Structure 1
Amino acid sequence: MKSDLVRMALILGLLSCVGPFAIDMYLPALPSIAESLGAPVEATQYTLMSYFVAFGVCQLFYGPASDMFGRKPPLYFGLVLFALASIGCAFAPSIEWLIALRFVQGVGAASVMSIPRAVIRDRYTGTEATRLMTTVMLVISISPMLAPLAGSALIGPFGWPSVFIAVALATVASMVLTGVGLPETLPPAERVPFKFSAMTGAFATLLRDPGYMGLTLIGGLGMSSFFAFLSTASFLYTGHYGLTPTQFSLAFALNALGFFTASQFAANLGERFGSVVVVRWAVAGFAASASLMCSVIAAGYDNFALLVGMLIVTNAFLGLVIPTSMVLSLEEHGPIAGTAAALGGALQMLLGAVAIVIVSQVFDGTPLPLVAAIAVCALLALGLSVLTLRGAAQVAVQS
């Protein structure tokens, strides 16, 4: 890979880790937070939901803002807000305050979700963009491997508030990295002046594009299945299977292995067979593996090692679905890449928030509600892929 691609991947990947770190470091702390603040499991799960709602909705503002003012100013604003909210979370006196501050934290984190996608689209298209996106995913994949372990290491001696202090410090480091290493990829001549009608017109164009919407929702349903896992994993692994916080962190990292490994093949497969074909077959594999996992658990085979193994396989297919569908959804919308990335991210995060609400209502401490939710997401994604990709050319998108 070219040195420029590697440098951009590292910077964008580390920036994109800010939001996931606020989730992954935090997961081992959920049972401790529930006990410390005297909150029920459902209320504690709402701290995730509020974060995802803000994380999703506010991308609708960051995307157009990045098209109007350049990529870096909105990025700085979001990072500063995220750092301040993280400090607030560390001193939250009640579960209600924590839910509210997590919402503010999500408002800031939204900037590092949509803007890096637009930066990629500013510089690259086709398989080169897919290669960069998957390399960014490689860097992001470090988060679920290391962040829960780091969270567990902090929670033991310092308590759960230390997780948010650490996240705030990491955000400051990200701001320095942005200032030093990330160039402005949208020159003033190419920026879109603020016009409310232009912004709403861009959203209307995207919402009427069946290809964009279908690919966005396919990726969103894949993300929703993972968000369902996020909201229940710590309670399931520590409560039902009796793991310690450190053991949970290791198991969580193992679950990311399939996604991490498969995502690195997405660009090469897209170049050889075409991105459309990759999405089509990867979604089919996602649906088949998720349905099999649900059937096995429903039949009474409740075994921890078996569940982890099936999750690894299911996540491997997601490693092909998510980055490839992201790139394809933006391919035809270069002039409004920031807005397209923002709307896509918003819709995907909102789908994830809905998944968290539904799973939190039916979660009974066993794996069945979780695997059933993953299977539903996978089957819906399969149906959408049939409708969206019907008759699409089975060739790779060329840069």
Structure 2
Amino acid sequence: MSTHPAADRRAPGPEGQGDRDYLRFVLVLGALIALGPLSIDMYLPAFPRIAEDLSATPSQVQLTLTGMLCGLALGQLVIGPLSDAFGRRRPLLVGLLVHAVASILCSMASTIEMLSVLRVLQGLAGASVSVTAMAMVRDRFAGVAMARLMARLILVIGLAPIIAPSLGGLVLEWTGWRRIFDVLALAALLLATLAARSLHETLPPERRRPARVRASLAAYGGLFRDARFLALALIGGSMMATLFAYVSGASFVLQEGYGLSERTFAIVFGVNAAGFVVGSQLNPVLLRRYSLIQVLTSGILLTFAAAALLLVTSLTGLGGLVGVLVPLGVVMSAAGLSMPNTPALALERYAGSAGTAAAVLGSLQFGVGAAAAPLVGAFGGQSATPMAVVMLALSGLAATLMYAVVRRPGPARVGSGTG
């Protein structure tokens, strides 16, 4: 497949300049994408305190996470076409500034309903970071090269889920949960400054699309008629939702169900996030011998097997806390193995509309995640069984789509997606 000239890893210039540019691109983009995991994970240790302070149930507190995910899902559908029309930098910078304002408002929320609504706004702003970052990667890379870069980005942003609960726990030791959102506001402002100074526009004017509603709808229509793309988007959404089932339920299951302290929970959460990073870094190694589809399939099947084991241990009590932590660790590692390959496969034919295609990918990822997160709390806050059931169903759906559509012999594509 041919790619844009900017896709070359080594840019024209002095010896070594291309490698430095590549490294800066990865680090800056990784720092920007890390804002999403920080916004999602940093306040997790505070769930019990938020429930007590705002007189809310565990399920209501988990809805604040759902609000964030809904905002991320909906915002990308709007920002994707805008980034194809106006470039990547402007939507990115505006989104970061709005995220800072929304975070400050979250710190002032007086009811759980108000906090949930403000988290939607925070998610809408955060969507600009998610979709423009993915589009920037596709502007410069494709295929296996993109999958390898995504693995590197996951290495960078994988530190965020490790650090975020620890940072949240540290804030809680010194002050209340509201200051967590003040820290997020400061992070958004610092990242906006970093992006403005260090990140160059990756979509030249001659490759931009008109900012018209009809053109955007036509582009979305073509994507949703592409059976293979849609299946890969749903697979990515299912795998992401598997992670969010863990994220939304872990604090109640491990802290209230198994009695872990806020600090111990942060350590356990960090270890599992490290497993996610390790899995992602195995991806480039495996891609030297196996195809994108083979590695993705293996990650999905491993997730399904670990979710099934978690269901058995949670129902029988086999192994106690260890019987829960081991399958969760495998789920996280397997997700890290599979996640970089989904966008690489889905976006390989959409160089001309990378923003719009990335928006659909991100929207389905966070949309499915938003639907899955409250299910864990609705069926029991302190038991690992609902979390296991949701994970098993989602990974089972991903496996079904993989074999029924993506790996099916012959063309699975229905619509046009050349952009």
Q: RMSD in angstroms over aligned alpha carbons?
A: 1.4
Which residue is 2:14 aligned to? none
Contact preservation (8 Å) 1:66, 1:338: yes
1:231 and 1:171 map into 2 onto residues whose CA distance is 23
Contact preservation (8 Å) 2:300, 2:398: yes
1:225-240 correspondence to structure 2 within 5 Å: 225-240=242-257
Contact preservation (8 Å) 2:96, 2:192: yes
Of 61, 66, 82, 2:78 maps to: 61
Of 174, 178, 195, 1:178 maps to: 195
Contact preservation (8 Å) 2:252, 2:381: no
1:112 and 1:262 map into 2 onto residues whose CA distance is 24
1:5 and 1:299 map into 2 onto residues whose CA distance is 50
Contact preservation (8 Å) 2:159, 2:274: no
Contact preservation (8 Å) 2:70, 2:367: yes
Which residue is 1:290 aligned to? 307
Which residue is 2:93 aligned to? 76
Name the count of aligned residue pairs: 393
Amino acid paired to 2:267? L
1:354 and 1:186 map into 2 onto residues whose CA distance is 33
Which residue is 2:16 aligned to? none
Contact preservation (8 Å) 1:258, 1:312: yes
1:156 and 1:392 map into 2 onto residues whose CA distance is 56
Contact preservation (8 Å) 1:363, 1:370: no
Deviations, residues 248-268 of structure 1 (Å, cap 9, x unaligned): 110111111221101012123
Deviations, residues 341-394 of structure 1 (Å, cap 9, x unaligned): 00110011110011012222112411111111111111111111111222469x
Which residue is 2:236 aligned to? 219
2:188 pairs with 1:188: no
Which residue is 1:105 aligned to? 122
Partner of 1:313: helix, strand, or coil?
helix
Which residue is 2:339 aligned to? 322
Contact preservation (8 Å) 1:280, 1:385: yes
Which residue is 1:136 aligned to? 153
Contact preservation (8 Å) 2:249, 2:381: no
2:166 pairs with 1:149: yes
The TM-score, its normalising length taken from structure 2, stands at 0.91
Question: Following superposition, which runs of at least 4 residues in structure 1 exceed 4 angstroms of deviation?
Answer: none
Which residue is 2:218 aligned to? 201
In terms of mean alpha carbon deviation, does 136-145 or 312-321 score higher?
Answer: 312-321
2:407 and 2:87 map into 1 onto residues whose CA distance is 36
Give the share of equivalent positions with the same residue, in percent. Answer: 37
Of 285, 288, 296, 1:268 maps to: 285
Of 356, 361, 366, 1:339 maps to: 356
Deviations, residues 202-261 of structure 1 (Å, cap 9, x unaligned): 101111111111111111111111111111111111101111111111011111122110
Which residue is 2:26 aligned to? 9
2:143 pairs with 1:123: no
Which residue is 1:168 aligned to? 185
Deviations, residues 120-142 of structure 1 (Å, cap 9, x unaligned): 00011122211111111111110
2:69 pairs with 1:43: no
**Gaps in structure 1 of 5+ consecutive residues:** 394-399
1:359 and 1:160 map into 2 onto residues whose CA distance is 23
Contact preservation (8 Å) 1:133, 1:323: yes
Change (3 A) 1:315 1:360: same
